[in-house]
């Protein structure tokens, strides 16, 4: 069975500082990995995905994620956080037509 872990329920960072939201996964075979963002009272929005190729994936709104096969991690990063980045972030893994989400990490960027 596939699974995703987001070890931090809450991440706080000051505006302008780099941010990292952590994700580790467990899956048989090669994973398809995703990051989604959810703003209050809205549906999830796609940020980026890793299928194959370069371990550093660039996505929407200046976000990027680093795939590390040996550590089975897919951490979300941004060099300089904005207050508008404050939201709930979900990591997900896809195999066999099912997308499994982590429990989510609430990111708060402080002005």
Q: How many helices (H) and strands (E) does the chain have?
A: 0, 12
Site for other proteins, rule CB under 8 A: 4, 9, 32, 34, 36, 41-46, 49, 51, 90, 94, 97-104
Q: Residue 28 or residue 97: which is nearer to other proteins going by CB?
A: 97
- Judged by beta carbon, residue 15 or residue 22, the one nearer other proteins is 22
What are 77's strand-pairing partners? 20, 64
> Could you tell me the smallest distance in angstroms from the CB atom of residue 81 to other proteins?
23
Report the residue number, 24 or 32, with the smaller CB distance to other proteins. Answer: 32
To other proteins, the closest distance from the beta carbon of 33 in angstroms equals: 10
User: How many C-alpha atoms does 111 have within 13 Å on its Cβ side?
Assistant: 2
Measure the CA–CA gap between 54 and 50, rounded to whole angstroms: 8
- Closest CB 59 distance from other proteins, rounded Å: 10
Give the 3-state secondary structure of residue 84: helix
Please, which residue, 9 or 54, has the CB nearer to other proteins? 9
> Smallest distance from the beta carbon of 46 to other proteins, in angstroms?
4
């Amino acid at each position: 069975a596939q699974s995703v872990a987001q070890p931090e329920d809450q991440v706080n960072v000051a505006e302008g500082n780099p941010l990292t939201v952590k994700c580790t996964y467990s899956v048989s075979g090669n994973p398809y990995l995703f990051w989604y963002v959810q703003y209050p009272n809205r549906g999830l929005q796609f940020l980026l995905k890793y299928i194959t190729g370069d371990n550093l994936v660039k996505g929407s709104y200046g976000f990027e994620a680093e795939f590390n096969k040996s550590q089975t991690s897919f951490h979300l990063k941004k060099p300089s956080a904005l207050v508008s980045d404050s939201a709930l972030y979900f990591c997900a893994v896809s195999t066999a037509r099912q997308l499994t989400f982590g429990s989510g990490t609430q990111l708060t960027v402080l002005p």
